[in-house]
Structure 1
C-alpha cells in the first residue's frame, strides 16, 4: 500500500494534479514551474525495487544485488544529474557505477545491524547474496548466531566488496573519459562515492570483518575527504 501510494503520487504529479502532500507539491513545482525534465521512469524504478525487497529477503545472486543498486541508488544519481540539466551518456555511466558501488556497500554496512541477535532476533535478516554465500560455505543462519565468526563470512564479504570496489574503479575511469564535463557542477552529484570508498577501505583494514565495531563508528575523515574530492574533482 505504501508503494502504491507513491506510484499514484508520481502519476498524478506528472499529470499536473499533485495530491496535497508536501513531496508531491514540491515535485510539481519543480516539474511544472521550474521546468526540470525529470524522467518519470527513474522514480518508478526506485519504487518498484524498494517494493520487491520490503520484506528484507536475501538477494538470490550478486547480480540481483547489483540490479537493485542500479534501480535505486543509480536512479537517484540520474535524477540528480537531471536536476542540474545534465544529459550525458558519459556522466550517466559514472552515476551508474557509483550507484552500484554504494548500494552493494550499503548491504555490507547494514549486515551487522540487520543480523544482530537479541530481543528482535526473530526479525533478524541476512541480505548477502545467496550464491556468494553458498560458494564460500556460509550459512546465513550462522551469521545471525555467530556474527563475525561465522565460517565463510569473511570470504563472502571479500567477494562482494571486490565487486563494489570494481565499480568505483570503473567510475573513476569513466569520469576521466567525461573530460571537462565531469569536472563541472555535475561532479557534486558524484560525491556519495567518497563515503563508499572510505567504508570499503576501512573494511579491508579489518580483514573484511563486517562485524568489527570500528566500522560502526562515524567516519571523522569524511568532511575533509569530501572537501578534497570536490576541490580536486576526484573521488
Structure 2
C-alpha cells in the first residue's frame, strides 16, 4: 500500500495534469457536469428537465456532479489511501471555492459559479465529503440507525443544497421531508447495487438485519441471491426505505399530499425510489434479479406525472 505522502504526491500530479489540459483546452464546466450526470446518474439527468433552464439548472448539474464525483471514488481507486487523498482534494477545493479561488477542475468551477449566485452553506459540501471519506473505510454497517445516519449525510444533504438553490433553505418542514426522501434514496440505491457491492466484498445491508434472518456475509459474497435468508433481509431493508418515503409524504398531508410548486423539482428525487421499490417487490425482493438492471422506460413519464401532480 502507498504511504499517505506518496499517495498525495501521486494525486497532486494527476490533478496538476488535468489542470494543465484544462488550461490548454478550455471546457464548459456546466457541460462537463451535465455529461457526468447523464452517464452516471441517469435518473437525476431526467429530473433536470424539470429545473428552470439557465442558472437554476446549471446549479442543479453542478451540485449533482459534485455528489456523483464523490460517490464514484470508492470504485475508482485501488487503495484506500488514494481515496483519502481524493477526498482531501475536494475538502481543499470547497475551501478554495468559498475563497473565490477554485481549482481548475470543471466540477469545482461549476460549483464556484453556483455559489456566486445562490446561498449554499459550505458546511453541506463538507458533510458530504466527510461521509464519503468514512465510506471508504466501511464494508458494512452494524445497525440500521448507523446506515440511516450515513444516508442522510450523503443524499439528504444533497437535497438540502438543492432546496437552498431554490431559495428554500430555511424551510424546516421541507428539510424534514427531504431528509427522509434522501435516506430512502440511498437505501434504494444500495439495494439496486447489492450485486455489485457483493462482488467487491461489501455488504450494504446492515448487520442487524442480516443477523435477524441468519444471513452470513461470506455466503452473500459467494452465492449472491442464493445465500440463506438474503431475500428476507432485502425485504426488511426495502420496508425501511419505504417507511422513510411514507414519512416524507406525511409531511404534506395538510395539502393533500401536494408539494409546494417551488420545491417540486427537489422532491422529484423520490419518484425513481418509489419506482425501484415497486420493481423490487414484483421480483419477490430478489435484489439479484436481472430485470432490475434494466431501465424502466416509463420512468420519464412517471417523473413528468409527478411534477405536474406535485406528488412523489
Shift in Å, 1:55: 4.5
- Determine whether 1:138 maps to 2:211: no
8 Å contact kept, 1:38–1:83? yes
Residue of structure 1 in register with 2:305 after alignment: 228
Residue of structure 2 in register with 1:105 after alignment: 188
Residue of structure 2 in register with 1:90 after alignment: 173
Residue of structure 1 in register with 2:60 after alignment: none
Shift in Å, 1:162: 0.6
Q: Tell me the alpha carbon deviations over residues 22-57 of structure 1, each in whole angstroms, 9 at most, x when there is no partner.
A: 22222222223x2x1101111011101101012451
8 Å contact kept, 1:108–1:157? yes
Residue of structure 2 in register with 1:119 after alignment: none
For 1:115 and 1:24, locate their aligned partners in 2 and report how far apart those are by CA, in whole Å. 32
Residue of structure 2 in register with 1:157 after alignment: 234
8 Å contact kept, 1:90–1:177? no
For 2:186 and 2:149, locate their aligned partners in 1 and report how far apart those are by CA, in whole Å. 9
Residue of structure 2 in register with 1:207 after alignment: 284
Moved more, 88-97 or 47-56: 47-56
Q: Tell me the TM-score normalised to structure 2 length.
A: 0.69
Please list, as runs of the form range in 1=range in 2, the aligned pairs for 1:29-48 lying within 5 A after superposition. 29-32=113-116, 34=117, 36-48=118-130
Please list, as runs of the form range in 1=range in 2, the aligned pairs for 1:191-206 lying within 5 A after superposition. 191-206=268-283
Shift in Å, 1:110: 0.6
Q: Tell me the alpha carbon deviations over residues 113-139 of structure 1, each in whole angstroms, 9 at most, x when there is no partner.
A: 2224xxxxxx43222211111121100
Q: Tell me the alpha carbon deviations over residues 200-232 of structure 1, each in whole angstroms, 9 at most, x when there is no partner.
A: 111112111101111111111101111111110
- Determine whether 1:77 maps to 2:154: no
SS of alignment partner, residue 228 of structure 2: coil
8 Å contact kept, 1:90–1:178? no
For 1:141 and 1:23, locate their aligned partners in 2 and report how far apart those are by CA, in whole Å. 38
For 1:76 and 1:189, locate their aligned partners in 2 and report how far apart those are by CA, in whole Å. 10
For 2:253 and 2:266, locate their aligned partners in 1 and report how far apart those are by CA, in whole Å. 16
Structure with greater contact order relative to length (CA < 8 Å, sep ≥ 6): 1
Shift in Å, 1:186: 1.1
Gaps in structure 1 of 5+ consecutive residues: 117-122
SS of alignment partner, residue 182 of structure 1: coil
Residue of structure 2 in register with 1:124 after alignment: 201
Q: Tell me the TM-score normalised to structure 1 length.
A: 0.91
Q: Tell me the alpha carbon deviations over residues 143-173 of structure 1, each in whole angstroms, 9 at most, x when there is no partner.
A: 1211112111111111111110001011111
8 Å contact kept, 1:176–1:182? no
Residue of structure 1 in register with 2:94 after alignment: 10
8 Å contact kept, 1:90–1:175? no
For 1:72 and 1:147, locate their aligned partners in 2 and report how far apart those are by CA, in whole Å. 26
For 1:7 and 1:161, locate their aligned partners in 2 and report how far apart those are by CA, in whole Å. 33
Moved more, 155-164 or 47-56: 47-56
For 1:100 and 1:180, locate their aligned partners in 2 and report how far apart those are by CA, in whole Å. 19
Gaps in structure 2 of 5+ consecutive residues: 1-84
Misfit runs of 4+, over 6 Å: 178-181
